[in-house]
Structure 1
Amino acid sequence: MMLQLLTIAVLAAGTVVPAENNLVAQADAAPTPKLDWAPCTEEGLRQYECAIADVPLDYTKPHGAKLGVAVLRQRATGDRIGTLFTAVGGPGGSGIDAAKDGLASPEISKRFDVVTFDQRGVVRSRQVKCFASPEEQAHFWDTVPMPPATKAEEKRTTKGTKAFTEGCARHNPDLVNNLTTVDVARDLDLLRRAVGDAKLTYTGGSYASYIGEVYGALFGDRVRALQLNAMMDPVSYSTSTLSALSERAQGTAGVWAEFARLCTQAGKPACAFAGPDVHGRNASLLTKLKNGPMTVGRGEAAVQVRYQDLVPAQVQMLYDTQGWPVLAAILDAIERGPDGDPEIAGAILGGAGFRFDFLSSFIAISCADIDVPKTPELWPLLAKAFDAGIPNYGRHWLYMTQPCATWAKVKQRYTGPWRLTSDVPALLINNRFDPVTPLSMAVKAQREMGNARLLVVEGHGHAIVNACTDKVRAEYLIDLKLPADGSSCAPDRRPFDGV
């Protein structure tokens, strides 16, 4: 049943496959941006330099209207090799905001100017607007269930996502058609030209790995080094998105199973939710929440927790194992109901920690890239099929794409081929247990890129930060040295250690 639905849906969705040489020619025809670097003025960024790069809003008109891409630079502190470009994931994450926590390791920072940016449609680079006011935006995300749990909620969400799409088109009529990752890759090539580098050195993870995949496919002869983490499978993402969502949901379910196993192994107090049948108790909680909110705490301090609060929060908190003890405490508080701590349970309320502008960018950029059915009323049927194999998590990932069912067809969208033709193979790194970009996606990406080496981290979560990978990454970016085929890294710490 699931396979039949996926097949019908994929056939129902249209594809746009422009010739890659035309996409490159349009970028080459655009003027090189002039970067007038000056000290950044925002709090937390004053140690860096900032500039605005004027790039074509629409690459089919390379000398037409411009869009200002906000760029940030950290100068090399030692013997400089060139520029290392980096981006963050989402889509919708701000590279410039992320710079407040640092840009690169000391070793890499010595050898490269490190440059990051807010991609088009994100924060300082003309943030996508889908609502008339911040209040309207907050009301939408509070009242439109994502994901919906009942038939009534599914109808409300279908109506809401149509309104969301209409709002995005109304408030950004010239922008929504020019937000594809192929546009970002071409912006990146213009930035490479602007800093004077003959070839691109780039690192990025999660969605930012897809930026690297698109750049490598279009501009392979201009690549010095591509170091990509938490890999996306470019084929399924761009041409078989429902299959990609199913695979992502399976990855989430697999990491949840690891959470349950390691929580049981750690016991209390390391894991507050430890006890008999962690997996079954979580399933029971989610089933109860589908039937209505649960009250945690008593009196005025009590909070109401909904299905749409817990599921996204649970998925997000599986990203980083440092947050697993907090997730365990939240589940314990909700399970205790009136006897639970409302302050702990309340930590998941209000958008699961995402800023609402991020969600607008995430959906707008995703809808420009992916391939889903153009019938929003199909989503409840698809959700039922997803639930049969991957309860809760499949529904979560699926409904984030429902606005794309009514999204206007974009002018240019890249769907392959994905072969990387650079002189130096790309270095791909992926955790074995990743809830968002499972290892299976990295294996496919390596095969599709062809000219790539995959390093597996024997750990959990979406982030890839540890001493082993820092060393491998630096050796590759600085000296173009690849790890041996089949190499792996161990994480610095295990979930629930040291709690």
Structure 2
Amino acid sequence: MRLVRRTAAAVAALAATSVLLSGCLYAQIPEAPSSVARDPDVTGVADELLPYYSQKLEWESCGARFDCTEVTAPRDWTDPAAGDLSLALVRHQATGEFQGSLLVNPGGPGSSGYDFVADSLEYAVGPDLIERFDVIGFDPRGVGRSSAVECLDAEETDEYNYGVVAAPRGTPEWEKELTARNTAYAKACEQNSDGLLPFITTENSARDMDLIRAVLGDQTLNYLGYSYGTFLGATYAKLFPERAQRLVLDGAIDPAVPGLQVGTTQAIGFESALRAYLEDCLRTAECPFNGTRDEALTDLQALLASVARDPLPNGDGRVMTVDTMITGLITAMYSEDYWPYLSQGLTAALQGDPSGLLALADSYNGRLPDGTYQDNSAEAFRAYNCMDYPVEDDPAAEDAAIRRIEQKAPTFAPYWQGPDPCEVWPYPPVGVREEIGAQGSGPIVVVGTTNDPATPYEWSQSLAAQLENGVLITRVGEGHTGYNKGNACVDSAVEDFLVEGTVPEDGLRCE
């Protein structure tokens, strides 16, 4: 059966984790004493959950104005007696008048909120939020320093990510070989993850987030979620609307869109961003292409076809397949800041050197120059998506999706199809795709960027409309997510809401 590659809720925090940012940005400030301890909020907590909600946190210093701790949560929120897991937290203490905690999630699913805050605080949040909030980064269950999903070692991961498939693309043999790889990957995850896989779901993670809120001593949640973090935040608001009072969801995922449609919409979004890149590229002397945008697109498609026939050898012994080249292109679509690196990489690739595009793909995959991997974000990404997205088996819908991609995303279309890795996951999915209204919540601010390739603008529009108290802010521009990206209009609206409670005008448009 032909299947469209499941890229559901893809890659939220790529822009956060792959740019070079300095860690502990407040190292010049003398270390402050810990924030005043507050009693956990156990209001309305069921008796069987009181041991979790009443736990007292033990913080340890882990940098100037940073301290770290762990929270114990039940593996299975429906059966707390089934065992525990650990959640890793880092806190940057408010530099000014303290008004509460602000939880931040960079997305993924599977990206480390701990690293996001600890290593790139000023990229995660603006100065007004740093002043007024204890900024909390946390690794969701299955991720990083928390009880984590583990699958392959670095060498095996390299083969999975970059290995050459012997069979010709699109043949039954090619599909069989990819399915065998996906099956081996899934078995390794099951063997190495200490029984966690069936509990790695967004609903469980949202319940973890309420636990974190409570043990920090906050009666309601202040939250900033990027990309997949918007789905996590919206799920929280569905489960705990009375506690969802100041939530900002930036680069939204539409919770009602099924996985097949997610992959289709993202392919079209990346094609749109690629065209914007080429228009910009052709205005520079460094552009590897000439002529019109459409002529440049034809030349790029020819390069992709050439690499599909003959992968390019790299100096480190790897080769760049067309799938790896597609990953490099996608990576560069997340931010205009990456476009010069893409031009350099394409220029080199046209001369037979794939190192620049491989570096972009490595950034996406979390691969370090020494061949190790910086985190388990890819494993956690797979685990969450395979549990969150219901199985789809509608050949007619798949054929229609393929036709739409071929029409609207011709550059990516030849390389967007393949066996769904979640078909061989050890556990059936438990998630649903449905609208979220969060009746009874406070105002929820949704930020959408008009040419966001990973979470297309239409998803932000849809989520804001679904939410009973949704408020939409539109950032007109390129790239993934809108807050803290240099648009003063967006930044002021978000920060005034989180700090002062001032609700932006619904439909605010920031040029």
SS in structure 2 at match of 1:114: strand
Equivalent residue runs for 1:141-290 within 5 Å: 141-143=161-163, 149-151=169-171, 152-172=173-193, 174-236=195-257, 240-264=258-282, 266-269=283-286, 271-276=287-292, 277-290=295-308
Provide the C-alpha distance between the structure 1 equivalents of 2:321 and 2:259, rounded to a whole number of angstroms: 28
Are 1:369 and 2:388 counterparts? yes
Alignment partner, residue 501 of structure 2: 480
SS in structure 2 at match of 1:371: coil
Equivalent residue runs for 1:4-403 within 5 Å: 31-32=52-53, 34-41=55-62, 45=63, 47-99=65-117, 100-102=119-121, 103-131=124-152, 133-143=153-163, 149-151=169-171, 152-172=173-193, 174-236=195-257, 240-264=258-282, 266-269=283-286, 271-276=287-292, 277-294=295-312, 304-337=319-352, 343-348=355-360, 350=362, 352-355=364-367, 356=373, 357-373=376-392, 385=403, 388-389=406-407, 390-391=409-410, 393=412, 399=418, 402-403=420-421
Alignment partner, residue 496 of structure 1: none
Distance 1:372 1:40, change over 3 A: farther
Per-residue deviation, 1:244:
1.6
Distance 1:396 1:447, change over 3 A: farther
SS in structure 2 at match of 1:234: coil
Provide the C-alpha distance between the structure 1 equivalents of 2:166 and 2:362, rounded to a whole number of angstroms: 12
Checking the alignment, whether the CA contact within 8 Å between 1:49 and 1:72 is kept in structure 2 is yes
Deviates more, 1:344-353 or 1:117-126: 344-353
Per-residue deviation, 1:29:
6.3
Deviates more, 1:58-67 or 1:31-40: 31-40
Provide the C-alpha distance between the structure 1 equivalents of 2:424 and 2:397, rounded to a whole number of angstroms: 12
Provide the C-alpha distance between the structure 2 equivalents of 1:489 and 1:471, rounded to a whole number of angstroms: 11
Provide the C-alpha distance between the structure 2 equivalents of 1:27 and 1:222, rounded to a whole number of angstroms: 20
Please tell me the root mean square deviation across aligned C-alpha atoms, in Å: 3.3
Checking the alignment, whether the CA contact within 8 Å between 1:145 and 1:153 is kept in structure 2 is yes
Distance 1:219 1:393, change over 3 A: farther
Per-residue deviation, 1:217:
0.9
Aligned partner letter, 2:200? L
SS in structure 1 at match of 2:279: helix
Distance 1:381 1:200, change over 3 A: same
Per-residue deviation, 1:223:
1.2
Alignment partner, residue 474 of structure 2: 456
Aligned partner letter, 1:218? L
CA offset digits 1:12-37 (Å, max 9, x no partner): xxxxxxxxxxxx97996663152434
CA offset digits 1:301-352 (Å, max 9, x no partner): 9984320221011001110110011111211222233xxx565455346574
Provide the C-alpha distance between the structure 2 equivalents of 1:393 and 1:478, rounded to a whole number of angstroms: 42
Query: How many percent of aligned residue pairs carry the same amino acid?
Result: 27
CA offset digits 1:74-107 (Å, max 9, x no partner): 1122222211111111111001111211142221
Per-residue deviation, 1:184:
0.5
Checking the alignment, whether the CA contact within 8 Å between 1:387 and 1:395 is kept in structure 2 is no
Aligned partner letter, 1:309? T
CA offset digits 1:149-196 (Å, max 9, x no partner): 443443321211111112212222520000100000000001111111
SS in structure 1 at match of 2:160: helix
Per-residue deviation, 1:233:
0.5
Provide the C-alpha distance between the structure 2 equivalents of 1:97 and 1:242, rounded to a whole number of angstroms: 31
Provide the C-alpha distance between the structure 1 equivalents of 2:160 and 2:72, rounded to a whole number of angstroms: 33
Provide the C-alpha distance between the structure 1 equivalents of 2:46 and 2:507, rounded to a whole number of angstroms: 38
Checking the alignment, whether the CA contact within 8 Å between 2:388 and 2:430 is kept in structure 1 is no
SS in structure 1 at match of 2:256: helix
Aligned partner letter, 2:412? Y
Provide the C-alpha distance between the structure 2 equivalents of 1:154 and 1:288, rounded to a whole number of angstroms: 21
SS in structure 1 at match of 2:421: helix
Provide the C-alpha distance between the structure 2 equivalents of 1:182 and 1:364, rounded to a whole number of angstroms: 13
Alignment partner, residue 427 of structure 1: 445
Distance 1:342 1:139, change over 3 A: closer
Aligned partner letter, 1:288? S
Aligned partner letter, 2:380? S
Provide the C-alpha distance between the structure 2 equivalents of 1:181 and 1:27, rounded to a whole number of angstroms: 22
What is the number of equivalent residue pairs in this alignment?
Answer: 454
CA offset digits 1:419-471 (Å, max 9, x no partner): 12245321111110011000011111112223211111111011422233221
Aligned partner letter, 2:262? A
Checking the alignment, whether the CA contact within 8 Å between 1:430 and 1:442 is kept in structure 2 is yes
SS in structure 1 at match of 2:52: coil
Aligned partner letter, 1:216? A
Checking the alignment, whether the CA contact within 8 Å between 1:315 and 1:393 is kept in structure 2 is no
Distance 1:192 1:274, change over 3 A: farther
Provide the C-alpha distance between the structure 2 equivalents of 1:423 and 1:408, rounded to a whole number of angstroms: 36
Distance 1:274 1:124, change over 3 A: farther
Name stretches of at least 5 consecutive residues in structure 2 with no aligned partner: 5-44, 368-372
CA offset digits 1:463-485 (Å, max 9, x no partner): 42223322111101011212223
Provide the C-alpha distance between the structure 2 equivalents of 1:367 and 1:146, rounded to a whole number of angstroms: 27
Per-residue deviation, 1:353:
4.4
Per-residue deviation, 1:135:
2.7
What is the TM-score normalised by the length of structure 2?
Answer: 0.80
